[in-house]
Structure 1
Amino acid sequence: MKRTLLATCTLLASATLQAAPGLSIYGGGYNWNTDFNGTVSSGGASIDVEQDLGMGKADQSVIWLGIEHPVPLIPNARVRYFDLYESASNRLQRSFVFDDQVYVASTRVDSELELEMLEGTLYYTPIDSTLKLDVGMTLRQIDGFVRLNSIISDARLDIDEMLPMLHGAARLEIPGTGAYVGGELNGIKYNGSTMNDYNVRVGWRSDFLLGVEVGYSQINLNLDNVSRLTTDLDMGGPYLALSLGF
């Protein structure tokens, strides 16, 4: 639903572009299998998502839409959506407790983890030439769940968290080529919890609006007893994205 909404916004924005000179509208997206590792816990010892649950690669989709303008004092804006999902089935090598449920060694546990993140970023561009520098704030809504199911136990914990994050990005154009290099960082630390993500990228945009981007993206999510859930998760890997710019 959210991806469909963003795609619709892209079409509407492009349709009105001719009536709004001075605006720059950009978007893009990608889907790939990211490396996924770390731990989760709730009322017991940490559970390794790789060794205990058998996870390791997660399917992740990312799509974004942004608008920049020449009006002073009013920030530029971007909306971005992440969807990460992983499931596995594994025979336990040890017993553990999760959300007051006991999972016994030698039994099979089916696990699921999903994280949906919808964010809005407002940013200023104090430097905008061959070198472009953005600074601002990101507000990110995280929705998701962790579920563990065995023959005798079934537990599910939901994640519903809103995070304000500092935002910074830089981009260096290579004159006359359409190519660029850049990177981005978002992060926050609060009440013992931290979340940050970054990417580095190399891209090229043609004279016909379309482009490609190759990069590396990493997300770190460390929650400290948020809705009874503690996490120390790392998700990241290389990606290939299609981009669009007006």
Structure 2
Amino acid sequence: MKKTALILSLSSMLLGGAAQADTILGIYAGADGWRTAAEGSFASSDEMQTFNFADKTQQSFYLALEHPVPLLPNVRIQHNPLESEGLSNISAGFNFAGETFTADTQVRNQVDLTSTDYVLYYEILDNDLISIDFGINGKYIDGYVAVAETSANGLDAGQDVSQWLPMLYTSAAVGLPLTGVTVFANGSFLSYDGSRVYDAQAGIAYALLDNLAVDLTLKLGYRAVNLRLDDIDDLYANLDFKGVFAGIELHF
């Protein structure tokens, strides 16, 4: 009987210690594969040209750190490659990166608007059933946009894009009791001075592994990104990327 009481006591201490450690510091690491369909237009003025884009699989990686320190925000860093290219027959003349492209010309168009999100957020509500986060996101876009005529000795123009965008961030999740399934949605939003940007996703997650050492979660959902840029580094654009994603998340 004494041995049983001792074992139960030690087990309680170990479980309590593990729970306390997770309360003190929680680390989340994840990766997503996202199949995107892209469409939209861009130019060096508000008279934009519409282009064709091929579907492409993008990858996204993130790391988040959560803690119980009052008033100190949690931190999430996410890297978002965002690329696409295609062949287009332009319907009207337009200006881009110092070059004037004429109508009825075939061009190869390319966009790379890869970004990194630096999110500071607070947990407004956090329990086994519902969690709600709210914060700010400093999205840093560092990319390149290019257009080149397919004909020999044709025009070739490219433009670098490097810009910080301040955005609002929010996240919510609802757990379905006794199923291991969670319904979630999160996103960042910006609207000011003619520009509008959003990056939002929603889906379901399933807890494949849940123990004291590590939690392993599988995710499936839909993500949509819109970049409506009004004279951002001399770039005017209205681009949409959307499609289904699947991912994995580890919680230590």
Give TM-score scaled by structure 2 length: 0.82
| Aligned-partner Cα distance in 2 for 1:94–1:230 | 16
Which residue in 1 is equivalent to 2:10?
none
Which residue in 1 is equivalent to 2:116?
118
* Alignment-mate amino acid for residue 171 of structure 2: A
* Alignment-mate amino acid for residue 140 of structure 1: K
Contact (CA 8 Å) 1:217, 1:237: kept in 2 or not? yes
Against the structure 1 CA distance between its residues 169 and 32, is the aligned structure 2 distance closer, same or farther, given a 3 Å change threshold? closer
SS at the partner of 2:146?
strand
How far does residue 106 in structure 1 lie from its aligned partner after superposition? Answer: 4.6
Against the structure 1 CA distance between its residues 187 and 27, is the aligned structure 2 distance closer, same or farther, given a 3 Å change threshold? same
Which residue in 2 is equivalent to 1:148?
147
Matched, 1:169 2:171: yes
Aligned length: 226
How far does residue 107 in structure 1 lie from its aligned partner after superposition? Answer: 3.9
Which residue in 2 is equivalent to 1:100?
98
Of the candidates 211, 223, 236, which is equivalent to residue 242 of structure 2?
A: 236
Which residue in 1 is equivalent to 2:67?
69
* Alignment-mate amino acid for residue 47 of structure 1: Q
Name the larger-Rg structure.
2
SS at the partner of 1:135?
strand
SS at the partner of 1:71?
coil
Q: Which 10-residue stretch deviates more, 194-203 or 102-111? A: 102-111
* Alignment-mate amino acid for residue 98 of structure 1: F
| Aligned-partner Cα distance in 1 for 2:202–2:161 | 28
Backbone CA RMSD of aligned residues: 2.2
SS at the partner of 1:176?
coil
Segments of structure 2 that go 5 or more residues without pairing to the other structure are 1-17
How far does residue 61 in structure 1 lie from its aligned partner after superposition? Answer: 1.4
Contact (CA 8 Å) 2:49, 2:90: kept in 1 or not? no
Q: Which 10-residue stretch deviates more, 222-231 or 102-111? A: 102-111
| Aligned-partner Cα distance in 1 for 2:98–2:140 | 27
How far does residue 227 in structure 1 lie from its aligned partner after superposition? Answer: 1.8
Which residue in 2 is equivalent to 1:78?
76
Contact (CA 8 Å) 1:58, 1:84: kept in 2 or not? no
SS at the partner of 1:207?
strand
Contact (CA 8 Å) 1:59, 1:86: kept in 2 or not? no
Contact (CA 8 Å) 2:37, 2:55: kept in 1 or not? yes
Superposition map of 1:202-221 within 5 A:
202-208=204-210, 209-221=215-227
| Aligned-partner Cα distance in 2 for 1:176–1:32 | 29
| Aligned-partner Cα distance in 2 for 1:93–1:57 | 22
| Aligned-partner Cα distance in 2 for 1:133–1:195 | 22
How far does residue 185 in structure 1 lie from its aligned partner after superposition? Answer: 2.2
Which residue in 1 is equivalent to 2:229?
223
Q: Which 10-residue stretch deviates more, 20-29 or 163-172? A: 20-29
How far does residue 169 in structure 1 lie from its aligned partner after superposition? Answer: 0.8
SS at the partner of 2:160?
strand
| Aligned-partner Cα distance in 2 for 1:180–1:88 | 37
Which residue in 2 is equivalent to 1:35?
37
Which residue in 2 is equivalent to 1:189?
191
Segments of structure 1 that go 5 or more residues without pairing to the other structure are 1-16
* Alignment-mate amino acid for residue 73 of structure 1: L
| Aligned-partner Cα distance in 1 for 2:20–2:133 | 26
Contact (CA 8 Å) 2:73, 2:120: kept in 1 or not? yes
How far does residue 93 in structure 1 lie from its aligned partner after superposition? Answer: 4.9
* Alignment-mate amino acid for residue 55 of structure 2: K
SS at the partner of 1:217?
strand
